[in-house]
Amino acid sequence: MMKWMLDFLEQLYQNVEMLQKIVEILKKLWGKITFVISLILILIVCSLFEPIATYLKKYEKIATVYSVIEEYRIQILVVILCGVIIAFLYATIKLGKQLSRDSIRMADFTKKLHVRFFHDLRDDIKDLENYGKKINAGDDKEKIILKEEMFKKFVESMQRYIDFISEYFSDYCGSTISACIKIIKLDKDNQDIDDIKNRRAITLVRSAATKRERSKNNEEVTVVKNSDFLFLCTGANVFYGKADLDQEYSKHQYNVEDDYDTWHSKYISTLITPIRYYNKHRRYTTNDNRIELDILGFLCIDSKKKQINWEEFDSHELQLMAIISDSLYTYMKRFKDIYIKGE
């Protein structure tokens, strides 16, 4: 009994393996198969019209094929119909499995987003509050030590976040996605737009996946000399996303401080969201002190493969980047207030 069962399973495995090979062959030949089927259907339709049929029979090669098609017209149509039904069922089952995998995958992504980002972010903000209390209560020497400790933990937390962001989008996109956070050298609120444009943006943290190859390049840049950062410091633009930077560069619409060969060897697509507070209601008022524009930095991801979705406003990548950027603003702003102002 056991031997029979093992033989049966081995035979079943071989049959499944054979079917998989057949499917792979059909995938490769699908274009040619479609062409042949289309041609046969055209000849069948032509056979229904006597003038066309008579004309086609004049050609010997076509006449031979045509006679077979004419004789077995119904059988051929049945075979084609069965093939279409099987292909439809296969595509439906495959789509169903893909949707199921995507649903499980998205649930896993959501869980990771909660545990590895928002949960940690809440705790880190709470830690900042505790540091703030200790700094306010300490003497000058204690304040210096506590601020150094707080800054170290802040950078460690940001590194943890950016590594998660890189891993998350790499899994989601199916290719290596590099991520970094750049901060703008600023020491005041209620920033002036022209003042921001001339400031330097420094790479605070970069994802571990690409840190080594980029650690010595492009660590500090001027906002006005980079199309992406300049765009986000102008008006109410909420993101900068380009799928093909080669094309943008050829049209003189993408400028960076690095030369072409330097950046082109590292990425072709980019998506950037500002880490900022933008008060759109400020333009309608003149007698209040609310912050009109407070840009702390930029959350950036890029890829060596073209990411078409990154240009779309409703893409998952952009919406998640915007959520993370807004969340990071709260954390970074609180750190800045405690570290610089002691509030």
Q: What is the largest CA-CA distance in the chain?
A: 106
Q: Mean pLDDT check: name the lowest of 139-148, 164-173, 277-286, 291-300.
A: 277-286
Share of the chain above pLDDT 90, in %: 27
Taking the CA of residue 253 as centre, how many other CA atoms within 13 Å lie in the half-sphere pointing to its CB?
A: 9
State residue 315 phi and psi, 5-degree precision: -70, 150
Pairing of strands 293-303, 269-278: antiparallel
The model's pTM is 0.67
pLDDT band with cut points at 50, 70 and 90 for residue 6: very low
Is residue 327 predicted with pLDDT exceeding 90? yes
For residue 293, list its beta bridge partners.
278
Residue 136, sorted as left (phi over 0), alpha (psi -120 to 50) or beta, turns out to be alpha
Q: Among residues 169, 306, 320, which one has the least CA distance to residue 242? A: 306
Q: Do the Cβ atoms of 219 and 206 come closer than 8 Å? A: no
> Given a cut of 80, is residue 53 above it in pLDDT?
no
Count Cβ neighbours within 10 Å for each residue of 285-299 and write b for 16 or more, e otherwise.
Answer: eeeeeeebbbbbbbb
Identity of the amino acid at 312: E
- Residue 51 structure tokens: 């003038």
Residue ranges with strand state E in 107-265? 177-184, 200-206, 220-222, 240-242
Main-chain dihedrals φ then ψ at residue 204, nearest 5 degrees: -80, -50
Residue 18, pLDDT score: 57
Burial of residue 223 (number of CB atoms within 10 Å: 0-12, 13-18, 19+)? buried
CB 11 within 8 A of CB 4: no
| Residue 340: DSSP 8-state | I
Contact partners, residue 76, CB within 8 Å, separation at least 6: 40, 44, 69
Residue 158 contacts residue 181 (beta carbons within 8 Å)? yes
Out of 7-11, 57-61, 163-167, 216-220, the most confident range is: 163-167
The residues near 58 (Cβ < 8 Å, ≥ 6 apart) are: none
pLDDT at residue 120, as a whole number: 93
Please tell me the distance from the alpha carbon of residue 310 to that of residue 317, in angstroms, as a whole number: 7
